[in-house]
Structure 1
Amino acid sequence: MIYDVIIVGGSYAGMSAAFPLVRARRNVLVIDGGKRRNRFASHSHGFLTQDGVAPDVIAAQAGVQLAAYPTLTSIEGNATSAARAEDGFTVTLEDGRNFAGKRLILAHGVTDTLPEITGLKERWGQSVFHCPYCHGYELNQGKIGVVGVGAISMHHALMLPDWGQTIFLPNGTFEPDADQLAQLAARGTALETGTIAEITGRADVRLTDGRVLSFDGLFVASIVSPSSPIAEQLGCAIEELPNGRQIVTDEMKQTSVPHVFACGDAARAAGSVPLAVGDGAMAGAACHRTLMFG
């Protein structure tokens, strides 16, 4: 069977991309490896009607609703490669299965690389976050630490005073210049130049000089990269950003390769459930348009 569309990735963006296609009665295959980026978070925020709901509950409910459409096929598996074919594309899974589709939507998300600080990864999504809009409000205007990964962390350090008393810890990754120091002062962000030894407790930072700074939450900018090599295999343009790499798309989520679309965290610089859902809806509708009109 040749599917109208194969969607690689069945989380929020992937399922959202599938909806306009199955509602147009197109045959859609969704391939999902089962690793949502926000699987470490206990609650999702900022998504209309779902504020405070657990991410897995949102995903499960969406999956049930999507499965009600008869032209949808959903399978578990990791897509490891893709290639052009006469009528579109072939996608190969790590177990050797092959599938063919006329169009391809990449919604596989990204892989986060965090600083090698003892105790940081274990708290990712629980008391260490990347998105103030997703998790800042729940800190109740408490004490917030920004762990530096480089100059890009200035963005967090300047944003977060809107959510609480903020201390910026560059951790030796860079030294703010005079202009940056002035910006921090204007926003009321304090600067701590000590080196981090480890993260303990909920969000306590122990410095190498023995001091312990206690926070209600920590923020860090992860370095991201597409979680699948498929875009590069097909020759899609990849953009280098200060915090990693992402697939380049136009406003309709079309990549540089005709009939290959990309959406969600792999194709935009910000990661949240509402943004992923909107991105996916655009990709699905745009993909359907090419099926109708070429």
Structure 2
Amino acid sequence: METAKKYDVIIVGGSYAGLAAGLALGRALRKVLIIDSGKPCNRQTPHSHNFLTQDGTAPAEIASIAKEQVLTYDTVSFLNDQVLSAKTLDSGFEVFVPSGESFTAKKLVFATGIADIMPDMPGFAESWGKSVLHCPYCHGYEVRGQKTGTLANGDSGYEFCILIANWTSDLTLYTNGKSTLTHEQTAQLHKHEINIVDDEILKLDQTNGYLNSIQFKTGKAELLTALYARLPFQQHCDIPKQLGCELGEEGYIKVDAAQKTSVSGVFACGDNVTRMRTVANAVSMGTTTGLMVNKELVEEEF
């Protein structure tokens, strides 16, 4: 049986957080393996924003440049594959890929992101990241002042409308069924000329992911340029949970200020630990993780 290849650190997930962690560890002379399946959650998004020097650049382009720069460090390797499972060893961890090959490391970093759970609504998935949006800080400027909707209800819908109203005065809350807003919330939205539509949605009419209109089961339709939605999600990778990493109430992996999970030797960073879902934040967290992993290794080895 072939002996597993040994590394100081294995990073599962090679997008922005994973690559940033790999860069910091490569510069710390650590032998690192980054394993990535090539399915980032923002793969449909045409442009990234709020990232200094890269504002307006396609996320895939940012990742490509990052990968090229990280791999200039000869102690860092990249494997385009999927981790199927992992187990704890006395000396660290062992991870397994579909080929049956395995790799060991003293430390594990999960930068695996989350998977959005799309509603069963024709046109929604095709428009996600293009004109159906999760974050006004990432996309609001590009659709400022345009006819905009929020798909939500109750307290979440009310709070979302308050935020989105900063970018447009032509805003409608679509509750997709009976409104659960309080009377006070309804009155406050109406005071700010935010419409509330509780008709059930049939589909989103779109062209190449860009909205034309929102169509209802009643037969009515409304023109629409952008629609904000907060989707439920699940962890893109359930291996941290299998290893015993604790999740918070919202479903994110719990980490401390050093990005350590509840399992010794396992770290996590990026969208899988926070709702602050931006490329810039993922890079920041990944860099912090790389520094903290190396610090822990140094202290253990000295």
Q: Take 1:23 and 1:150, find their aligned partners in 2: how far apart are those partners?
A: 48
Q: Take 2:153 and 2:268, find their aligned partners in 1: how far apart are those partners?
A: 27
- Helix, strand or coil at the partner of 2:84: strand
Give the superposition deviation at 1:149. 6.5
Q: Pick the aligned partner of 1:208 from 209, 217, 221.
A: 217
Q: Take 1:225 and 1:173, find their aligned partners in 2: how far apart are those partners?
A: 26
Q: Take 1:259 and 1:155, find their aligned partners in 2: how far apart are those partners?
A: 38
Matched, 1:166 2:166: no
For 1:237, give the aligned amino acid.
Answer: E
- TM-align CA RMSD: 1.5
Equivalenced residue count is: 291
Give the 3 Å change call, closer, same or farther, for CA 286–42 of structure 1 in structure 2.
same
Q: Take 2:14 and 2:215, find their aligned partners in 1: how far apart are those partners?
A: 39
- Which of 36-45 and 149-158 deviates more? 149-158
Q: Take 2:75 and 2:285, find their aligned partners in 1: how far apart are those partners?
A: 22
Q: Pick the aligned partner of 1:87 from 61, 72, 91.
A: 91
Deviations 1:70-113 (A, max 9, x none): 10011011112111012100111123221100000000111110
Aligned 8 A contact 1:171 1:193 in 2: yes
Aligned 8 A contact 1:161 1:188 in 2: no
Give the superposition deviation at 1:188. 4.3
Aligned 8 A contact 1:153 1:221 in 2: no
For 1:221, give the aligned amino acid.
Answer: R
Where do 1:40-51 residues align within 5 Å? 40-51=44-55
Where do 1:1-294 residues align within 5 Å? 1-148=5-152, 151-164=155-168, 165-172=170-177, 175-185=180-190, 187-201=192-206, 202-203=210-211, 204-241=213-250, 245-294=251-300
Give the superposition deviation at 1:186. 5.5
Q: Take 1:286 and 1:259, find their aligned partners in 2: how far apart are those partners?
A: 11
Give the superposition deviation at 1:2. 2.0
Q: Take 2:276 and 2:258, find their aligned partners in 1: how far apart are those partners?
A: 17
Q: Take 1:216 and 1:92, find their aligned partners in 2: how far apart are those partners?
A: 45
- Helix, strand or coil at the partner of 2:165: helix
Q: Take 1:119 and 1:15, find their aligned partners in 2: how far apart are those partners?
A: 32
For 1:190, give the aligned amino acid.
Answer: N
Give the superposition deviation at 1:189. 2.7
Give the superposition deviation at 1:180. 2.6
Q: Percent identity?
A: 36
Deviations 1:6-48 (A, max 9, x none): 0000000000111111101010110000011110011111110
Aligned 8 A contact 1:151 1:174 in 2: no
Q: Take 1:187 and 1:250, find their aligned partners in 2: how far apart are those partners?
A: 40
TM-score by length of 1: 0.95
Give the 3 Å change call, closer, same or farther, for CA 173–125 of structure 1 in structure 2.
farther
For 2:36, give the aligned amino acid.
Answer: D
Give the superposition deviation at 1:50. 0.3
Q: Take 1:274 and 1:148, find their aligned partners in 2: how far apart are those partners?
A: 26
TM-score by length of 2: 0.92
For 1:123, give the aligned amino acid.
Answer: S
Aligned 8 A contact 1:149 1:221 in 2: no
Give the superposition deviation at 1:140. 2.9
